[in-house]
Amino acid sequence: MAQTRIRCAIIGASGYTGAELIRLLRSHPHADIAALSANSHAGQHMQDVFPHLFYDTLPPLTTTEAINFDDIDVAFCCLPHATSQKIIATLPKHLKIIDLSADFRLVDAEAYRHWYGEEHHAPALQAEALYGLTEHYRTDLPNHRLIANPGCYPTCSLLPLLPLAKAGMLEADPVIIDAKSGVSGAGRTIKQGMLYNEVSEGMTAYSVNHHRHMGELHQELGLALGAQPSITFVPHLIPQKRGMVATIYARLQSGYDINAARAQLHQTYANEPFVHLMPQGNVPSTHSVRGSNHCLINIFAGSDARSIILISVIDNLMKGASGQAVQNMNLLCGFPETEGLMGSALFP
């Protein structure tokens, strides 16, 4: 039976995903924020780091080593990849852990080395983790202790692709993903390329067809297809704070058309609280999901009867990170999946 209240720690609370988790957990009916840790900001209060989190009920930011995990039920890890695995390996085994970094998303240690350029330091834990794309791993989730929260680009791209791939409707080649992210996707750490002058009034592609999220995309789409997909993935940085759009060009298998694909998406997501197929012809916009845990998708006809265009939008900090992390926490702890997450988008 679910505990009525759980105690949560946020490791790496002084970054964007940590701050977003605090915003969500503060109004969660079953979660208490019991500990917050940081690195360079350890010793400060959250309101000094993020003035919008001015609540005096929040615990101070400490080092991770200073947290007494004995009375913590769930730990959210909001750390850079490679750091996360080293810290998670030291945490006590009674903890349920939701890792927002990329460290436990790839089941294959060799794939991790390929995409992240170094050996994995906790391969046993890597084998224990479950990929936490909630809508597609919901039934397995409560049986795991360590959840690898998916990346923002893979969440946005896989939600429209997986139902078609699992139904045998999608060709493995080609899958072309043209994706765009707001600047908060890069975290709060200061980088020259993220300065206002570099980002505003312009748009730039980056990591063209070699972005690290391609590892997850290949893994999860390959599993759904039962074959290795041929994925072209080009992410772009766009001059807005939050929001992500994936425009996906793909082909249907012989014997299927856009009506069948649309029916499949409808059947998969009709009863989902956070993934919505829009009415025919409506174009999903990041405006409609800003600050919410929702993903809006739609399907459009391509240049011939078997070519399709899928468009998907999420808020990278919500369904792409902290919102999905809370959705996973709810399932891990036996709470209703939507608890604390049903707020609608901020518009304008």
Catalytic residue numbers, as ranges: 152
Which is closer to ligand NAP, CB of 105 or CB of 306? 105
Instruction: Output the DSSP codes for 33-87.
Output: EEEEE-STTTTS-HHHH-TT---TTSPPEE-GGG--GGG-SEEEE---TTHHHHH
Q: Which residue has the tokens 């436990």?
A: 104
Task: Classify the phi-psi angles of 89: left when phi > 0, otherwise alpha if psi is within -120 to 50, otherwise beta.
Answer: alpha
From the CB of 309, what's the least distance to ligand NAP, in Å?
Answer: 25
Q: Which residue has the tokens 């979660």?
A: 31
The answer to whether 312 contacts ligand NAP (rule: CB under 6 A) is: no
Which is closer to ligand NAP, CB of 152 or CB of 245? 152
The answer to whether 293 contacts ligand NAP (rule: CB under 6 A) is: no
Do the bridges between strand 204-205 and strand 231-237 make them parallel or antiparallel, or are there none, so unpaired? Answer: antiparallel
The answer to whether 83 contacts ligand NAP (rule: CB under 6 A) is: yes
The answer to whether 33 contacts ligand NAP (rule: CB under 6 A) is: no
**Which of 163, 185, 243, 284 is close enough to bind ligand NAP by CB under 6 A?**
185
Residues between 231 and 290 that touch ligand NAP (CB under 6 A): none
Do the bridges between strand 295-301 and strand 307-314 make them parallel or antiparallel, or are there none, so unpaired? Answer: antiparallel
Instruction: Output the DSSP codes for 295-311.
Output: EEEEEEE-SSTTEEEEE
Residue 86: phi and psi, rounded to 5, are -70, -40
Which is closer to ligand NAP, CB of 252 or CB of 317? 317
The answer to whether 160 contacts ligand NAP (rule: CB under 6 A) is: no
From the CB of 81, what's the least distance to ligand NAP, in Å?
Answer: 5
The answer to whether 320 contacts ligand NAP (rule: CB under 6 A) is: yes
Containing 124, the helix (H) or strand (E) segment is helix 123-128
Question: CB under 6 A: which stretch of 80-88, 112-120, 140-148, 218-226 binds ligand NAP?
Answer: 80-88
Which residue from 270, 265, 257, 267 is spatially nearest to 308, judged by alpha carbons? 257
The answer to whether 318 contacts ligand NAP (rule: CB under 6 A) is: no
- A 10 A CB-CB count for 233 gives 23
The residue at minimum Cβ distance from ligand NAP is 15
**Which of 6, 8, 15, 33 is close enough to bind ligand NAP by CB under 6 A?**
15
Q: What is the C-alpha separation between 153 and 217, in angstroms, rounded?
A: 9
The answer to whether 321 contacts ligand NAP (rule: CB under 6 A) is: yes
Q: What is the C-alpha separation between 223 and 10, in angstroms, rounded?
A: 31
**Which of 3, 5, 29, 40 is close enough to bind ligand NAP by CB under 6 A?**
40
From the CB of 78, what's the least distance to ligand NAP, in Å?
Answer: 4
Query: Which residues would be at the binding site for ligand NAP (CB under 6 A)?
Result: 12-18, 38-41, 64, 78-81, 83, 100-101, 151-152, 184-185, 187-189, 316-317, 320-321
